[in-house]
Structure 1
Amino acid sequence: MSRGNRNRVIAHAIVDGGLTAADAAARFGISRQWASTLANRYREGGDDALEPRSRKPRRSPTRTTEGMRQRILTLRTELAGAGLDDGAESIRDRLTRAGEKAPSVSTIWRILRAEGVVIPQPQKRPRSSIIRFEAVQPNETWQSDFTHWPLADGTDVEIISWLDDHSRYLVRISAHARVTGPIVVATFTSAADTHGLPASTLTDNGMVYTTRFARGGSGPNGFETLLGRLGITQKNGSPAHPQTQGKIERFHQTLKQWLRRQPPADTIQALNQQLEHFQELYNEHRPHRAINRSTPGEAYRSLPKAEPRLRHGDEHWRVRYDTVDNVGTITIRYAGRLRHLGIGRAHAGTPVILLMNGPQTLVTARHTGELLAEHIIDPGRDYQPRKRQKPLPKEGLHVNDVPEHL
């Protein structure tokens, strides 16, 4: 007998058959209270009132409030309008960091889907099928690449970025009319001046980064020479295999998504101001899935930094910009005294980048990346002559020759 029919038999036995609630309870094996309830329901609503009622709670304490639903939709609109990640995980991060009690990622996704604001995506390659490499420490590897972007009048410019492999921290980004070898050297040394030198770099095989595929037997370029002198391992991806530099490639997608939501920049200077703002947003206000929803800045500062093999005691490389004077020297202060570093009269007036590590120096031409001089400072004398420069191997280190990639 179904529950509905059983309820009707009990109610009719009491109301129409003259049984008391106690008698019906004893006969049908139920409580007296339940027998009385069935009789009262029958008197008030007839047989329809005796059908089994839903056991669903009248109120759900975990149900997302209408206010929170609207907050989620508002955040989605704001993030999309700013060109930032606007998925369920990003929305939950924003709510949590604002001190609000956020629903789960799946709940937020269902709310977005119900409102029709989720953009369907094609089936993607399973993550488990991709072999990933990630540096263990900050400054263990910096990835670099450059991409194109138009100014308001359609002029094409190039944006070069330096990204820490471990934390995704953006150590340097800038726009230029064209990215050249000297610009690679200048942006790298500028980043190193602020964040310290990395233990290695990872780039593609563009001529601004390496000449190992150049015809004619040319030697290392300025960037390769600088890395070799500093003890920094240079890694280059396999030709026609951009996945090796996947983090910087993905970063440029994020960058362009944001730039599309900004007013077009009229000049390179204006674009660089936008990039400076983006760098702050990306590093300090945008949690990243691959680093456990931390911001790149939090991840970059959470561990000790890796360093190049070449060190002098506990000293770190320092970076300074200068110009060779008319007698072929530049002046520095070392051990409390001014010292004159010999560069050569042929380089008078040349803007240079000076790197110092204790008594060791490297001087490169700012506009060409050419290594001009090295010194070991003698504390007992004022004038410091150049060291004889040792030639470097022609080719940089291929990424597949590095132990962690074997």
Structure 2
Amino acid sequence: MSKARVIVLSVVHQGLTKAEAARKFDVSWQWVHTLVTRYETGGLDALEPHSRRPHTSSTGTPEHVRTRIIALRQQLTTDGLDAGPVTIAWHLEQEHLPVPSTSTIRRILDAAGLITPQPKKRPKSSYRRFEADQPNETWQSDFTHWRLADGTDIEILNWLDDHSRLLLSCTAHHRVTGTDVITTFTTTTEAHGLPASTLTDNGLVYTARFRGSRNGFEYLLAALGIQQKNGHPYHPQTQGKIERFHQTLKRWLTNQTPAATIPELQTQLDRFRIIYNQHRPHRALGRLTPALAYAATIKAQPTPNSLSTHYRVRFDTVDRFGKLTLRRAGKLHHLGIGHEHAGNPVLILVDHTSATVTHLDTGEILSTHHIEPDKKYWRNQTKKPGRWPGSS
């Protein structure tokens, strides 16, 4: 029996006065009076020690913030986006609401029954992480599969900046070809500049080195002074960032209305690219969005080579007359390549003074042309002068 109960019983049942009980148990008269009053109000249970914790906390999470945390969790999950505590904290900050710690957000979600226990994962400390120090230092590329509403298999080709995770390009194709890789790459360089290096797997659309040769993409990178890096076969962890990105992309697509056509799917991918780059904080970036991380640091550049930094890249097919057309400064010019090259896919590199045409598959130089703005026809400088092709 507690000392408080003994004191009260000595007064109530043994007849001691409050002063006598205070002297006997070596406590103050005021304390005896408090105990007797508690007993008269709530019985013996009222004599147990009371918690000194305040009924409300001035530092607790406000109810409207708790409600918003739960709403954000549900909304982001429905949208197929990351809905973890870090992301929720970022959205609270954007809405100018008080931002609890991520552990507090997790407790709120857990109390609401919105967290499903996950199996233990390999500790992050066991991974060797590789990350570029600057934007454009390394671009990762890969493609993944998706299906249209009728079950048609589509391939989605992506380019991702290694440093900032900026989604540089995201395009849908019936089947990704080497030409698609080159076209999306050069289109992306026009918007973001040249990368210092690329990192891909060993697929034939990226490299032909295991066949003892080069493909068009490899020739293009070599011409621009860009280092090409390829992962080890059967080791997808080398391209871990873009592999994880594919999971994020597919999780979002799963929550969209299935696209019936490639243009419809491309519209969805364009919308996702904006969301991913500008409205989705990345945990590995300290809650920055990829767009902010990409803009925050000076860009890396490829190693300088003989090719002028002021260049144009074009892909075309030599016509049946052995010619190409090239628009420069608003004027259309004709390039004579040669009848023997009719139908060949080519890469055209144009700088201030010349245009060089190479075979897209072999890298063979087919022709070189001096830039002559006043002339409509630029002849092949690797051949002796002759008649205008097709003239009599």
TM-score by length of 1: 0.80
Q: In structure 2, what residue type is equivalent to 1:28?
A: D
In structure 2, C-alpha distance between the alignment counterparts of 1:98 and 1:352, rounded to whole Å: 51
In structure 2, C-alpha distance between the alignment counterparts of 1:33 and 1:311, rounded to whole Å: 93
Deviations 1:251-298 (A, max 9, x none): 111100000001111111110000000000000011111111111101
Cα gap change, 1:121 to 1:127, in 2 (>3 Å): same
Residue of 190, 200, 203 corresponding to 2:200: 203
Residue of 244, 256, 260 corresponding to 2:238: 244
1:70 aligns with 2:79: no
Cα gap change, 1:349 to 1:205, in 2 (>3 Å): closer
1:8 aligns with 2:8: yes
Give the aligned partner of residue 294 of structure 2: 300
Classify the secondary structure of the residue corresponding to 1:213: helix
**1:102-251 map, 5 Å:** 102-214=99-211, 217=212, 219-251=213-245
In structure 2, C-alpha distance between the alignment counterparts of 1:140 and 1:287, rounded to whole Å: 21
Q: In structure 2, what residue type is equivalent to 1:78?
A: Q
**1:7-406 map, 5 Å:** 8=8, 12=11, 16-20=15-19, 24=22, 28=26, 30=28, 33-214=30-211, 217=212, 219-310=213-304, 315-319=309-313, 328=323, 330-331=325-326, 333=328, 342=335, 344-346=337-339, 354-359=348-353, 361=355, 363=357
Classify the secondary structure of the residue corresponding to 2:209: coil
Cα gap change, 1:113 to 1:316, in 2 (>3 Å): farther
Unaligned runs of 5+ in 1: 389-406
Cα gap change, 1:364 to 1:103, in 2 (>3 Å): farther
Q: Is the CA contact (8 Å cut-off) linking 1:324 and 1:352 kept in structure 2?
A: yes
Q: Is the CA contact (8 Å cut-off) linking 2:134 and 2:298 kept in structure 1?
A: yes
In structure 2, C-alpha distance between the alignment counterparts of 1:380 and 1:174, rounded to whole Å: 35
**1:250 Cα deviation (Å)?**
0.6
Q: Is the CA contact (8 Å cut-off) linking 2:7 and 2:25 kept in structure 1?
A: no
Deviations 1:300-330 (A, max 9, x none): 1111111111367994544567787868354
Cα gap change, 1:272 to 1:338, in 2 (>3 Å): closer
Count of residues paired in the alignment = 378
In structure 1, C-alpha distance between the alignment counterparts of 2:23 and 2:169, rounded to whole Å: 81
Q: Is the CA contact (8 Å cut-off) linking 1:362 and 1:371 kept in structure 2?
A: no
Cα gap change, 1:220 to 1:153, in 2 (>3 Å): same
In structure 1, C-alpha distance between the alignment counterparts of 2:135 and 2:354, rounded to whole Å: 25
Q: In structure 2, what residue type is equivalent to 1:328?
A: K
In structure 2, C-alpha distance between the alignment counterparts of 1:316 and 1:262, rounded to whole Å: 41
Give the aligned partner of residue 385 of structure 2: none
In structure 2, C-alpha distance between the alignment counterparts of 1:352 and 1:73, rounded to whole Å: 56
In structure 1, C-alpha distance between the alignment counterparts of 2:287 and 2:296, rounded to whole Å: 14
Q: Tell me the percent identity.
A: 50
In structure 1, C-alpha distance between the alignment counterparts of 2:254 and 2:111, rounded to whole Å: 27
**1:354 Cα deviation (Å)?**
4.8
Range that drifts further, 194-203 or 95-104: 95-104
Range that drifts further, 192-201 or 325-334: 325-334
In structure 2, C-alpha distance between the alignment counterparts of 1:72 and 1:49, rounded to whole Å: 38
In structure 1, C-alpha distance between the alignment counterparts of 2:208 and 2:83, rounded to whole Å: 41
Q: Is the CA contact (8 Å cut-off) linking 2:155 and 2:176 kept in structure 1?
A: yes
In structure 2, C-alpha distance between the alignment counterparts of 1:232 and 1:374, rounded to whole Å: 23
Q: Is the CA contact (8 Å cut-off) linking 1:3 and 1:52 kept in structure 2?
A: no
Q: Is the CA contact (8 Å cut-off) linking 1:147 and 1:252 kept in structure 2?
A: yes
In structure 2, C-alpha distance between the alignment counterparts of 1:209 and 1:306, rounded to whole Å: 22
In structure 1, C-alpha distance between the alignment counterparts of 2:287 and 2:112, rounded to whole Å: 26
Deviations 1:167-224 (A, max 9, x none): 000101100111001111001001111111111000000001000112xx4x311000
In structure 1, C-alpha distance between the alignment counterparts of 2:294 and 2:219, rounded to whole Å: 27
Classify the secondary structure of the residue corresponding to 2:214: coil
Q: Is the CA contact (8 Å cut-off) linking 2:372 and 2:378 kept in structure 1?
A: no
In structure 2, C-alpha distance between the alignment counterparts of 1:276 and 1:371, rounded to whole Å: 36
In structure 1, C-alpha distance between the alignment counterparts of 2:48 and 2:118, rounded to whole Å: 46
In structure 1, C-alpha distance between the alignment counterparts of 2:60 and 2:142, rounded to whole Å: 47
**1:59 Cα deviation (Å)?**
1.2
Range that drifts further, 319-328 or 35-44: 319-328
Cα gap change, 1:343 to 1:205, in 2 (>3 Å): farther
In structure 2, C-alpha distance between the alignment counterparts of 1:370 and 1:186, rounded to whole Å: 16
**1:121 Cα deviation (Å)?**
1.7
